[in-house]
Chains A and B, each alone.
Chain A
């Protein structure tokens, strides 16, 4: 149980374009989803927390207009990187938490973004 999928797994785009990444909980309802980015040989850095039906909460230093998050249902959250630039190239990972008091997060397989 507790499977999270992410799509696409890898994307290459031109500078200035927007990229949408989907995160789905396949076998459970995710009250909360989290978006992280990870640079090579570094740990996960939380970008934002997404609750179903409400606006995402962004961490300090993360531009909400650049990284648009939508959590339209209990099984789907999307991250759109708008007007992507080479410095946005990174590994983006989502995670999902089930409802209730558990804080265990289950991670998706990640999306590797390369902006040329």
Chain B
């Protein structure tokens, strides 16, 4: 069974801080790792990573994958209160198109 572990479970930072979220995984026949942001409603897609060492960047968010050590990190720089959300990590395999989700990291950014 595929396993996705996110850490920390939650954190509180002040505006302007940088946060680093971790996601480690065990999956048979790994295909990709995805990051989502979930606020009050359903998750919104952030990144999909398939190759090691290639950083994906979108504004103040960036993410990288290490397929040797089986983990990914999501960085948020210069955090704003609007970054407060649950960040979900999910992995997909080559067997089917299902995603296995981690428990999420709750980020709270205080003004």
A contacts, CB < 8 Å to B: 2, 6, 32, 34, 42-44, 46, 49, 93, 95, 97, 103-110
Contact = CB atoms under 8 A, between A and B. Distances in A.
Contacts of B36: 107
16 contacts: A6-B42, A42-B103, A43-B101, A44-B43, A44-B88, A49-B97, A49-B98, A93-B42, A103-B48, A103-B92, A103-B97, A104-B34, A107-B36, A107-B42, A107-B43, A107-B44
A106 B104 contact: no
A46 B48 contact: no
Nearest to A111: B42
Contacts, number: 48
A102 to B, nearest CB: 8
Nearest to B44: A107
B54 to A, nearest CB: 17
Contacts of B7: none
Chain A interface helix/strand/loop/mixed: strand
B98 A46 contact: yes
Given A32-B97, A42-B103, A109 B41 contact: yes
A106 B42 CA distance: 9
**Residue among B31, B48, B97, B102 with most chain A CB within 10 A:** B97
Nearest to A42: B103
A110 B41 contact: yes
A43 B88 contact: yes
Contacts of B44: 107
Interface in B21-63: 31-32, 34, 36, 41-45, 48
B77 to A, nearest CB: 24
A43 B104 contact: yes
B70 interface: no
A105 B36 CA distance: 10
B47 to A, nearest CB: 10
